[in-house]
Amino acid sequence: MITTFYNSIKTYGIWGIALSMGIFSISTAQAEEYFTIKNNELQRPTGYREWVYVGTPVTPNEMNNGKAAFPEFHNVYIDPKSWAHWKEKGQFRDGTILMKELVAVGSKAAVSGLGYFQGEFLGLEATIKSKKHFPNEPGNWGYYSFSTPDHTRLNTSAKAFPTASCNACHAGAAADDFVFTQYYPVLSAGKAAGKNATGGVLSDLTAKE
Amino acid sequence: MITTFYNSIKTYGIWGIALSMGIFSISTAQAEEYFTIKNNELQRPTGYREWVYVGTPVTPNEMNNGKAAFPEFHNVYIDPKSWAHWKEKGQFRDGTILMKELVAVGSKAAVSGLGYFQGEFLGLEATIKSKKHFPNEPGNWGYYSFSTPDHTRLNTSAKAFPTASCNACHAGAAADDFVFTQYYPVLSAGKAAGKNATGGVLSDLTAKE
């Protein structure tokens, strides 16, 4: 059997063997633990509030002519396996999924002062980095939205947006591999930071990794 | 030996036996997996960015006469074991710790619009619900800050604030057991919600649990 195997490698090459053994499909499946794409549609991910949170901007409707592009807060999460990779390598691995959960401004004043306070959930978006699904997209990122136009429901699945819809802005302004890490301090402070990425480890808040 | 044990129970009562066996200290220790209080000072917790995120308000300094009470964003986390309890029972268990990580406004405009975008970390605060440590405080909650006045460093440990400093506002305005769940949608949507608490499960964003 070993002789036969060796002969096969000589004939087909090691990659030919790997392909026929389905090794590529195994490793791709392992990159997709946190999402499922079926018939070209991303199935709405669940459980992401137990992933790793990376930061929240707020673009209130009232500051954006009544209609912010991503109303109004958005809480962003990275899947746990990609977080582990980010802490170690400072890169987004193939198979990264980031969730963006939209939240309404619920209040503009509280006992803690004036500002913007979170209210009801409004929508859900996602971005996935995948060579398999987005071989021709910049950085291999695809972008999705599950929000309905009136922001009262979430669709069960979604097709990816065309490049111009989302990546165009990311390409021009995002700090790191098409991700706006400059606004997500858990990511920027955590880049290849190991244990220091997990919070409360460093006493010096001004220390750069 | 069994007879001796039975006789001991008759003499000391089952609680007497439990006390002498240190059973009370075991259960209290189990409630403190995520924090350590030594000599009345809370040791600065680490790793909380991998706990469960519950929400972020922003009180910009510029909206608060240049000096917000909790400058400027604060990202709040609940420890994982208390989250599990919250999902199941809708209550904060004895031993709950919530972390509040302060973040500066880094920017007020981005390609996504006008608003407030997170910048550098500024400070760290915590609140703990513990009958053992705060027998006389409302709800048994104690409050701590590790921030230095100039927001450049974190102290290694902290003493709890007096009741009037923190709990006074919480008592008057917080929606649920002295916690401002009304501004923390992951908590309010997740209260006794089981799997629905984890995000993306319900299609109807207006559904109340």
B209 has pLDDT over 50: no
pLDDT for A207 equals 79
User: Residues A21-46: what's their mean pLDDT?
Assistant: 78
Report the amino acid identity of residue B125. E
Q: Do A200 and B122 touch (CB under 8 A)?
A: no
Least confident of B74-78, B162-166, B186-190: B162-166
Distance from CA of B132 to the nearest CA of A (A): 24
Structure tokens at A166: 């989302």
A168 has pLDDT over 90: no
Q: Which residue of A has its CA nearest to B111?
A: A169
A25 has pLDDT over 90: no
pLDDT for B168 equals 87
pLDDT for A28 equals 55
Q: Given pLDDT bands bounded at 50, 70 and 90, which one contains residue A209?
A: very low
Q: Given pLDDT bands bounded at 50, 70 and 90, which one contains residue A138?
A: very high
A204 in reach of chain B (CB within 8 A): yes
What ipTM, to 2 d.p.? 0.86
pLDDT for B148 equals 96
A35 in reach of chain B (CB within 8 A): no
Would you call B191 exposed, middle or buried from its count of C-beta atoms within 10 A (0-12, 13-18, 19+)? Answer: middle
User: Which pTM value belongs to this model?
Assistant: 0.87
**DSSP structural state of residue A73:** E
User: Residues B146-157: what's their mean pLDDT?
Assistant: 96
Give the nearest partner residue to B198 out of A50, A58, A122, using CB atoms.
A50
Structure tokens at B147: 């921030």
A-contacting residues in B 119-148 (Cβ below 8 Å): 119-124, 146
What whole-number distance in Å separates Cα of residue B164 and Cα of residue B174? 15
A6 has pLDDT over 90: no
Angle at A86 between CA B107 and CA A48, to 5 degrees: 80
Q: Do B118 and A55 touch (CB under 8 A)?
A: yes
Secondary structure (DSSP) of A130-159: -TTT-TTSGGGEEEEE-B-TTSSBB-SEEE
Edge-first strand listing for the sheet containing B113-129 = B52-55, B73-78, B97-110, B113-129, B141-145
User: Residues A97-114: what's their mean pLDDT?
Assistant: 96
Length reported for chain A: 209
A34 has pLDDT over 70: yes
A-contacting residues in B 89-108 (Cβ below 8 Å): 99, 101, 103, 106-107
Structural contact between residues B49 and A197, judged by C-beta atoms closer than 8 angstroms: yes
pLDDT one-digit tens code per residue, B1-59? 555 555 655 555 555 555 555 455 555 556 689 999 999 999 999 999 999 999 999 99
Q: Do A184 and B101 touch (CB under 8 A)?
A: no
Q: Do B152 and A189 touch (CB under 8 A)?
A: no
**DSSP structural state of residue B65:** T
pLDDT for A17 equals 57
What whole-number distance in Å separates Cα of residue A45 and Cα of residue A97? 10
Structure tokens at A171: 């390409």
pLDDT for B32 equals 86
Cα–Cα distances in Å, from A129 out to A80, A135, B7, B12? 15, 10, 67, 65
Q: Cα A73 from chain centroid? A: 17
B164 has pLDDT over 60: yes
Report the amino acid identity of residue A91. Q
Per cent of chain A over pLDDT 90 is 81
Distance from CA of A168 to the nearest CA of B (A): 10
Average model confidence (pLDDT) across chain A: 90
Angle at B27 between CA B174 and CA B181, to 5 degrees: 15
Per cent of chain A over pLDDT 70 is 84
B201 has pLDDT over 70: yes
B17 vs B182 pLDDT, higher one? B182
Per-residue burial over B107-146, b = 16 or more CB atoms within 10 Å of its CB, e = otherwise: eeebebbebbbbbbbbbbbbbbbbeebbeebebbbbbbbb
Structural contact between residues A25 and B174, judged by C-beta atoms closer than 8 angstroms: no
A128 has pLDDT over 90: yes
Q: Which helix (H) or strand (E) holds B158?
A: strand B157-159
Q: Which residue of A has its CA nearest to B174?
A: A111
Q: Cα A29 from chain centroid? A: 17
pLDDT one-digit tens code per residue, B76-133? 999 999 999 999 999 999 999 999 999 999 999 999 999 999 999 999 999 999 999 9
Structural contact between residues B142 and B135, judged by C-beta atoms closer than 8 angstroms: no
Secondary structure (DSSP) of A90-146: SSPPTT-EEEEEEEEEEEEEETTEEEEEEEEEEEEEEEEE-TTT-TTSGGGEEEEE-
- A37-38 and B52-55 strand pairing: unpaired
pLDDT one-digit tens code per residue, A139-150? 999 999 999 999
- What lies within 8 Å, CB to CB, of B10 at 6+ separation is none
Report the amino acid identity of residue A78. I
Distance from CA of A203 to the nearest CA of B (A): 5
A4 vs A121 pLDDT, higher one? A121
Cα–Cα distances in Å, from A189 out to A126, B167, B199? 22, 31, 25
What whole-number distance in Å separates Cα of residue A77 and Cα of residue A100? 7
Average model confidence (pLDDT) across chain B: 90
